[in-house]
């Protein structure tokens, strides 16, 4: 829930003294915008990888950033599907809208990636019918969910298996980049179809 227009004390405490030192927080950004910001941050972190021993330190923060990017992106897509249902009457009508939708996303779905994905898939199928979701997207979301079911295993120690593990980091990065990008455009064909339709208010 958005807060009032008062300033953030943390940011106000460090006013920019020169343009080249400035960084901006925009108040109108959505969860979808944040999802891409987290992806960009993960990619920038990954770009520092050089195959050195100290690079082991970036793995868990990288996974935390990317996991959160997937979560926010899917929740943003659920909101988009609910909006289409409200405007055009197509899709899963479960009565969710506004505050009840936000409560559903926060309290019912929480931070579990696979429950969020299933909710998204059900709403997608209610509009698109038999069109399949790319299995590779479901696979990587399932793997992220298995590793961190509640959004805490990449944030706090003790939630991952008690053994040393390794991964081909460039391969991991390439797959996460690809599947997140595919997920991000998954609804675009549906959106193009709705954009081509007259808004119901224009028919009244």
User: pLDDT per residue over 68-127, tens digit each?
Assistant: 999 999 999 999 998 888 877 766 667 777 788 889 888 888 899 999 999 999 888 888
Residue 135 lies in a domain: yes
* DSSP label of 104: I
Q: Which residues contact 156 (CB under 8 A, 6 or more apart)?
A: none
28 three-state secondary structure: coil
- Report yes or no on 16 lying in a domain: no
Q: How many helices (H) and strands (E) does the chain have?
A: 8, 0
Q: What is the arithmetic mean of pLDDT over 123-145? A: 87
* Residue range of the domain that includes 189: 30-196
In angstroms, rounded to a whole number, what is the distance separating the alpha carbons of residues 138 and 46?
A: 23
Residue 186 forms part of a structural domain: yes
Burial class (CB in 10 A: 0-12, 13-18, 19+), 81: buried
pLDDT higher than 90, residue 136 = yes
Angle between helices 113-128 and 135-147 (to 10 degrees): 160
What six digits make up the tokens of 24? 């901006």
Say if 20 falls within a structural domain: no
Cα four-point dihedral sign 150, 155, 158, 160 = positive
Contact 67, 148 (CB under 8 A): yes
Lowest mean pLDDT among 5-9, 19-23, 30-34, 123-127: 5-9
Q: CA–CA distance from 144 to each of 55, 62, 176 (Å)?
A: 21, 12, 10
Q: Is residue 111 a part of any domain in this protein? A: yes
Distance in angstroms between the alpha carbons of the first and the last residue of the chain? 33
User: What is the rounded CA–CA span in Å between residue 130 and residue 145?
Assistant: 25
Look-up of token digits 């579990």 = 112
Is residue 36 predicted with pLDDT exceeding 80? yes
Residue linked to tokens 């690079």 = 55
User: Can you tell me the mean pLDDT for 5-15?
Assistant: 86
pTM attached to this predicted model: 0.89
- Span 134-159, average pLDDT: 95
- pLDDT tens per residue across span 149-179: 999 999 999 999 999 999 999 999 999 999 9
Residues 46, 52, 54, 55: what is their CA dihedral angle, to the nearest 10 degrees? 20
Side-chain half-sphere CA neighbours of 188 within 13 A? 6
3-state secondary structure (DSSP) of residue 31: helix
Residue 21 is assigned to a structural domain of this protein: no
Count of domains for the chain? 1
């Amino acid at each position: 829930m958005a807060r009032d227009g008062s300033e953030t004390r943390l940011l106000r405490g460090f006013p920019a003294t020169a343009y080249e030192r400035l960084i901006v927080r925009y108040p109108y950004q959505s969860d979808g915008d944040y999802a891409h910001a987290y992806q960009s941050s993960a990619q920038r972190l990954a770009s520092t990888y050089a195959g050195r021993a100290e690079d082991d330190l970036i793995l868990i923060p990288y996974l935390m950033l990317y996991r959160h990017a997937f979560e926010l992106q899917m929740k943003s897509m659920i909101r988009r599907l609910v909006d289409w249902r409200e405007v055009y009457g197509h899709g899963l009508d479960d009565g969710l809208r506004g505050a009840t939708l936000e409560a559903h996303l926060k309290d019912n779905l929480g931070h579990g990636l696979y429950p969020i994905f299933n909710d998204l898939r059900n709403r997608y199928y209610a509009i698109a019918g038999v069109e399949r979701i790319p299995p590779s997207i479901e696979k990587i979301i399932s793997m992220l969910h298995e590793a961190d079911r509640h959004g805490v295993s990449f944030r706090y120690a003790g939630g991952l298996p008690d053994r040393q593990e390794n991964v081909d980091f460039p391969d991991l990065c390439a797959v996460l980049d690809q599947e997140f990008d595919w997920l991000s455009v998954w609804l675009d064909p549906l959106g193009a179809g709705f954009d081509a339709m007259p808004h119901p208010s224009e028919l009244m």
